Amino acid sequence: MTLTYRRGRIGIIANPMAGRDVRRLASRASEITHQAKRDMVARIVAGADAAGIESVVVQAEPFRIATGAVESMELGAEVRIVGESRSRYHNGPEDTVAAVSAMRELGVTALVVLGGDGTNRIVAQTWPDAALVPVSTGTNNVFPRMVEPTLAGAAAGLVASGRVPLHAHSRRVKVIRVRPYEGAATLALVDAVLLRDDFRGNLLPVDPMKIDRILLTVASPAAVGMSPVGGLMAPVSSEEEGGLLVTCNRSGRDRRLQVPIAPGLYREVRVAEAHRVAAAVTLLFEGPGVIALDGDREIKLGPRQRARLHVERTGPRVIDVEAILRRAATDSLFG
């Protein structure tokens, strides 16, 4: 198919640290190499180019994942690189924030994100109204989709080019809004977990005996991490409103569940109760303890310090790849 015109701009966020953290030493998760991510970026770009995109925006970083992927590709679309002038990279959330902010300023209308729940959480914080295709490459992968990158790129390209309407083929996701005792408000996409006797920055898998409470937007028995703790008790889908509150380690009468808390790693989790929480209902997590957001232990609470949490559907729009491609087939957009 020869395109007579091109329009629209997509961005690609490829977190170089996603799928490579220390949690793999304590579980059986696969390591996603930089070369594997480079290949995925090339496939995303190929899909977006075939969909008629005018330009693709990628981020510069020391491992040259995205820039290395596109440097020898023959494309109809223009390639733009953000972050080349930066003098320092942190290999952390700051790099994702900088890349997403720059892409937003350049007029990107759809993002493809290579990462796990944590990477997508940073994207959602930085650009709350983003339209994105989250492609699974991280450790915690409840939010991202297992989708072929070629098709992810094609779907994002069709949306960004305006050939398929976004709002008819996407939906805002639920988020957990978190207002800590001190510091700025933040969010989680899947889970907020109150842990006892833990510490900020700990990257090891959660010790189930340290779990006090879990608030979930998605409670799935077919997931890995904290989501199946609730999913094995009272499943809640991403399509349903509200969330699930799970209380753990209360007495000898707790229900003992075998839960896959990490890939290839089942542990016993003692659950006292699990009940549905309606949208916008405020809950309190009280210290002492640490709140982990989508797997990242970030908020420290001292004794009697509290954080306020609630679930609402105000997150970014996730593009439905299959629905987009079905519409493209119906409208004969690929010839």
Give 228-275 pLDDT, tens digit per residue.
999 999 999 999 999 999 999 988 899 999 999 988 899 999 999 999
Cβ pair 69, 39 in contact under 8 A: yes
Domains of the chain, earliest start first: 9-173+317-330 (3.40.50), 175-312 (2.60.200.30)
Q: What is the pTM (predicted TM-score) of this model? A: 0.93
At 145-196, the pLDDT tens digits run 899 999 999 999 999 999 999 999 999 999 999 999 888 999 999 999 999 9
Upper half-sphere CA count for residue 122 (Cβ side, 13 Å): 23
Q: Widest CA span of the chain, in angstroms?
A: 69
Measure CA of the first residue to CA of the last residue in the chain; give whole Å.
Answer: 6
Tokens of 284: 């309190």
**Residue 317: pLDDT over 90:** yes
Burial of 130 (0-12, 13-18, 19+ CB in 10 A): buried
Higher-pLDDT residue of 31 and 296 is: 296
What distance in Å separates the CA atoms of residue 223 and residue 236, rounded to the nearest whole number?
12
**Residue 199: pLDDT over 70:** yes
Cβ pair 323, 237 in contact under 8 A: no
